[in-house]
Structure 1
Amino acid sequence: MKLERALSIGDLRRMARRRLPKILFELIESGVEDEYGLEDNRAAFRAYRLMPRYLTGIAARDQTADLFGRRYASPFGIGPTGFAGLLRRDADLHLARAAAAADIPFVLSGASVAPVEAVMRVAPDHAWAHIYPAKDAAITARIVDRLATAGVRHLVLTVDNPVYPKRERDTRNGFVLPLRLRLPILLEALTHPAWIAEYLSGGGMPMMESWRAYAPDGAGPGAVAAFFRSQSPSIQTWATLAALRRVWPGRLIVKGIQHPDDARLAFETGADGIIVSNHGGKSFDPLPSPVETLPAIRAAVGKEAVVMLDSGVRRGWEMLVAKALGADFVWVGRATLYGVVAAGRAGADRAIAMLRSEIDTSLAMVGRARFAEVDPDLLLRTRR
């Protein structure tokens, strides 16, 4: 399929699947254990219908969204996706450039291939950074200082992976860090010549520049990846968050919150915002969908607190559901990752454009001229 013929995120997903070896495409797709969480994230949106109001003034529609004192062109951003540069060379930079061009934020993963300095050069006003604290507190301090020095103003701390998840599909497929292309994996990969050519021309396993500086001197790509895995995930506490708040000069966002009491504690400990998330179904299978936990969190922290949502978003209308349930902003991960894997920067642009068009159409169809006007009256819950 040619990129211009792709009509949906699902089309981009199919294009990405054709390009990637099975072991890497399923790295995107996989969840944990029995993978109920993946389906729950999608089904949670489908439990709602949108109640339209007609004969309203919708000729001019506005999907801008205010976040931390700044107005973005759309109510969503590109969330952190680790090892994107393994799936497509320069994927992090492509995503950052696409976000900047669309005037939406991009969060660089704490497990990125691209270094933060390079990302800040191409998207200085739109790039945020995400952190996986290391088991070694001294490394965490160095990471925080590096991000601040690079000019990052928004730091996203993930708290929902205290230990390594049981990712059974990845284990069955033989995915490990560093990547080892054993014969069966290599033979299947050879049926995806574009990816193989790019991988081999780039020298094989890409370097995790986000962690290179902290690994032993002279460590190659495989050793750096192994070092990252030895340091992350790490167990954090509220004291960890408080310590980070004391040293981080910019906005601090906590990602992975699900319980209303934790939401309150996050703000009391100094967070500027939270992202209600279950790690896209990649953390722990019995966790609820953020769509289900969002309303209670909003009620617990009040209407002025910055509450965002990720996990499972594939359509523009789903962002209206999230807004009606209490989200100020929405993050997508797999949706834009499919685009960049399928066609690089052009694919990332295409994914963003699709979502923006769907938001615009959705606003018109439900009789709302502005995304900011979306409220709970829009929702009809049809399933539980």
Structure 2
Amino acid sequence: MNVDRAVNLEDLRLMARRKLPRIAFDFIDGGVDDEDCMRRNREAFRRYQLVPRYLVDVSRRDQSTELLGRRYASPFGISPTGLAGLFYPGADELLAQAAKVANIPFLLSSASNASIEVVAKLAPDHVWFQIYGTRDERINTDLVKRARDVGVSTLVVSVDVPVNSNRERNRRNGFSRPFRMTPPVVLEALGHPAWVLRYLRTGGIPMMSNWTPYGHAGASAAEVADLYGTLTPAPMIKWQTLERIRAEWKGPLVVKGLLHPEDARQAAAMGVDALIVSNHGGRQLDAAPSPLEMLPAIRAAVGDKVELMLDSGVRRGSDIVIARCLGARFTTFGRPTLFGAAAGGARGIARALQIVRNEIDMVMAQIGCSSFDALDERYLRTEGAGPEWGSELNRAAVEQHIPTIRRQQR
């Protein structure tokens, strides 16, 4: 399977499904409960249409975007994804290197297999570090210090995992914390010999290297994963935890996972620099709204106080254009690059990024917009709106998808 032949991100997903054992593929692909939230994430984008303007010179197109004081080549980054090394050896390092080549940010998860110290050296100007609050305040402080010590520019705090969720695919497959190769898992995995050989050649379960400093000397990968499971999730995390992190971290601070406009307003008042509006890719609360649905209300709540990004459900370049029209300066996605890694290592990751970049470029040309920065609601039509695009009528149609909470704030 040649990843260069992948036409879209779904092709890479199907390639990854053929290469990975079910327990690994479903860990990436699955959501929570009935996976309604995952479907809702995709359906939200389909409610919008892009209205083209023709007879416009689009011979030169620029999708570069400035975010948090830095200009990136494209308006998207790679979301934090844990246990990437399970799907392809050294995946964290490969993701960082691909981000550097593409000049986009890579948000390294604290649940990664490679450590922040290793990854930051590979792409010092493109690696952000994502953390969760833990049950030990000293570790929270130390994670921030480690990011600062290796020169990470941007810290991301994910706040949407107060408890473990009911990921039913994982439960059916026997995916436990930590991951262990039980006999049924081994039997199914034998149908994917290339993955099994890499798994055995690299020593089996990959180490969660960010957490080795907090375990005993010589702790195995399974023991470190068990330690991580005792420290996270941390249901006692509160706004005061975020306040302490803000006081300790002097660089750009991003909060990931807020969906309520009032929470966004409070984070902005606290001095957070950016928000990633996200429902964790539909992996935490199945009844949660899509980030795209909440984006206009959050934009109204925070104004220009913080920069807005969007995560969850992005699978096309047109999704990124739509999100920009609704107020998101940037988007991030994680599953597509993991599928790219599983399908073809570094080449698969690069292909995923190339596909999205090419799609954005084509969409911009098709709608008559030569600069990504110029996109706004004038290019957008909502399903059910009348023909008067860009008018008050169309804006009213957009407003109807903003939840009741915004009307209550008026």
TM-score (norm 1): 0.98
The corresponding residue for 1:95 is: 95
How large is the RMSD of aligned CA atoms in angstroms? Answer: 1.0
Partner Cα distance (1:249, 1:196) in 2: 44
- Please report how far the alpha carbon of residue 21 of structure 1 lies from its aligned counterpart in structure 2 after TM superposition: 0.4
The corresponding residue for 2:40 is: 40
The amino acid of 2:40's aligned partner reads: D
Partner Cα distance (2:284, 2:196) in 1: 29
Alignment of 1:6-45 (within 5 A): 6-45=6-45
- Where structure 1 has 5 or more consecutive residues not aligned to the other structure, the ranges are none
3-state DSSP of counterpart to 1:108: strand
3-state DSSP of counterpart to 2:18: helix
Is 1:154–2:154 an aligned residue pair? yes
- Please report how far the alpha carbon of residue 28 of structure 1 lies from its aligned counterpart in structure 2 after TM superposition: 0.5
The corresponding residue for 2:198 is: 198
3-state DSSP of counterpart to 2:324: helix
- Please report how far the alpha carbon of residue 99 of structure 1 lies from its aligned counterpart in structure 2 after TM superposition: 0.4
3-state DSSP of counterpart to 2:210: coil
- Please report how far the alpha carbon of residue 3 of structure 1 lies from its aligned counterpart in structure 2 after TM superposition: 1.5
3-state DSSP of counterpart to 2:257: strand
The amino acid of 2:223's aligned partner reads: A
The corresponding residue for 1:170 is: 170
3-state DSSP of counterpart to 2:175: coil
The amino acid of 1:192's aligned partner reads: H
Q: 1:303 to 1:245 in 2, by over 3 A?
A: closer
The corresponding residue for 2:346 is: 345
TM-score (norm 2): 0.92
The corresponding residue for 1:300 is: 301
After superposition, the C-alpha distances for 1:174-200 in whole angstroms (9 at most, x for unaligned) are 001221222121111011011100000
The corresponding residue for 1:291 is: 292
Partner Cα distance (1:162, 1:76) in 2: 27
Alignment of 1:1-384 (within 5 A): 1-235=1-235, 236-382=237-383
Q: Bigger CA drift: 90-99 or 210-219? A: 210-219
- Where structure 2 has 5 or more consecutive residues not aligned to the other structure, the ranges are 385-400, 402-410
3-state DSSP of counterpart to 1:254: strand
The amino acid of 2:159's aligned partner reads: V
- Please report how far the alpha carbon of residue 23 of structure 1 lies from its aligned counterpart in structure 2 after TM superposition: 0.3
- Please report how far the alpha carbon of residue 304 of structure 1 lies from its aligned counterpart in structure 2 after TM superposition: 5.0
The amino acid of 1:207's aligned partner reads: M
Partner Cα distance (1:229, 1:164) in 2: 10
- Please report how far the alpha carbon of residue 67 of structure 1 lies from its aligned counterpart in structure 2 after TM superposition: 0.4
Partner Cα distance (2:49, 2:268) in 1: 32
- Please report how far the alpha carbon of residue 4 of structure 1 lies from its aligned counterpart in structure 2 after TM superposition: 1.7
After superposition, the C-alpha distances for 1:21-76 in whole angstroms (9 at most, x for unaligned) are 00000000111111100100011101111111111111100000010111100000
- Please report how far the alpha carbon of residue 264 of structure 1 lies from its aligned counterpart in structure 2 after TM superposition: 0.8
The amino acid of 2:113's aligned partner reads: V
8 Å CA contact 2:272, 2:306 repeated in 1 = no
The amino acid of 1:4's aligned partner reads: D
Partner Cα distance (1:163, 1:304) in 2: 30
8 Å CA contact 1:238, 1:269 repeated in 2 = no
Runs of 4+ displaced beyond 3 Å: none
Partner Cα distance (1:176, 1:7) in 2: 34
